[in-house]
Amino acid sequence: MGQHGKLAIFGGEQVIPPGTIKPWPPINEVDEKYVLESLRGTNHAFGPNCVAFEKEFAAWNGNQYAITTNSGTAALHMCVAACDCSEGDEVIVTAYSWSSSATCILHHNCIPVFVDIDFDTMNIDVNKIEAAITPKTKAIIVVHLHGLAVDMDKVMAVAQKHGIKVIEDACQAHGAKYKGKKVGTLGHCAAFSFNQNKNLASGEGGMFVTDDEEIMKKARTLWSFGETRTPSESRDYHVYALGWMYRNNDLTAAFGRAQLTRLDMYLDWQRNSAELLTQQLHSVPHLILPTTPDQHEPNWYNYVLRLDMAALGHEADASQFRNKVVRALKAEGVETMVWQSFILPQMTVFQAKNAYGYGSPWTSPHAQPVDYSPEQYPVAQRHCDTHTCLVSSLRYPNGADTIELMGEAISKVMENVDQLEDLAV
């Protein structure tokens, strides 16, 4: 039985005491000041904090234009529309991500085409993108998953060769860099999310960014009812094209602005915490630790562990045994989770090829047949079945003492993993 003794899930002592890991995001007097000033103002819809948030985020990230939205999903849909994707057009996307990375394509009656992932980075396999391009391909959505940037040089070279646009799903990747440049400045346009679990959190909300004025104008039309003028201008209330209501509100934007004042500190803290945890876990058996390729600077939105199922003897029942390990980790006080239990092509909407009824958009006369057989994506499936994520435990104000406890708890489980063999599924 390893050095730590009986696992907590079987009645042993829990390593991390309840309440040790602090909630996210931390709230202080700056947040209260911004939000209360907005609350006491006169415009709680798209107000002055929305305008200021757009300018401040664009300056922070290095973009010419930014449009604040009510979600990262809305910003992604705006990207698809702004890149002139039309009914039946194909958009390439990774086979493993949050559902919005692909459903945003359906929102504009376009057809997702999935590409398998690279196991080491968990991102889209950039060497397989070109083979997925057809005459119907209009754009590529690259997801900087868990805060690690995609190899953008290869993606942009393929896109330029074929004359297609590149959309960055940077919803998890605030401040992540590739060759010294922040994500959101590398493709034609990008989307960020400010959901509560994001590194920049305002409860809900998002941001569309681009350096292209024409792309910005097309996105803004979709963002506000199909109008061409913004709420801060003199509106004519005329619908020029199909539009949604994706605007942010002043209270949420005020919260986002307050959190933005501390974002650089948060990201530095996470990077230091990730380095400390990696040092603690480097010799723990049966773990596959995160990879950081050269010239990449992740933000460590999620710290992802994979289990070496071959060494554990559980390749045949990988997801079931992974779930046992996750239960054991949680019992020790580790705040961990299975982030996504299904690869995207396996989700019902894609298997049924029916998003709106009558098989739409796949039955469009402008679409061509696509195949979503899950066996085409073995690497994504392997990752899906073997991973667990530490989401906010490495974030401010959780310090080195907490990281040490996390390392001890993970080590305890993995050194006594044989105790889980007979644990009921």
Size of the chain, expressed as the number of residues it contains: 425
- What's the DSSP call for residue 425? -
Q: Which is catalytic among the residues 165, 198, 218, 330?
A: 198
* Residue 364 neighbours by CB under 8 Å, 6+ apart: 87, 88, 109
Pairing of strands 137-143, 181-182: unpaired
Half-sphere exposure of 160 (CA within 13 A, CB side): 8
Instruction: Say how far residue 372 (Cα) sits from the centre of its chain.
Output: 22
- In the residue annotation, 324 being an active-site residue is answered as no
Distances (CA, A) of 213 to 79, 96, 159, 218: 13, 31, 20, 9
Q: How far apart are CA 233 and CA 211, in angstroms?
A: 21
Is the CB of residue 206 less than 8 Å from the CB of residue 194? yes
Q: How far apart are CA 157 and CA 123, in angstroms?
A: 17
Is the CB of residue 68 less than 8 Å from the CB of residue 205? yes
Q: Quote the tokens at residue 183.
A: 């994500």
- 230 by Cβ neighbours in 10 Å (0-12 / 13-18 / 19+) ranks as middle
Q: How far apart are CA 13 and CA 3, in angstroms?
A: 13
Q: How far apart are CA 72 and CA 170, in angstroms?
A: 9
Active site residues: 198
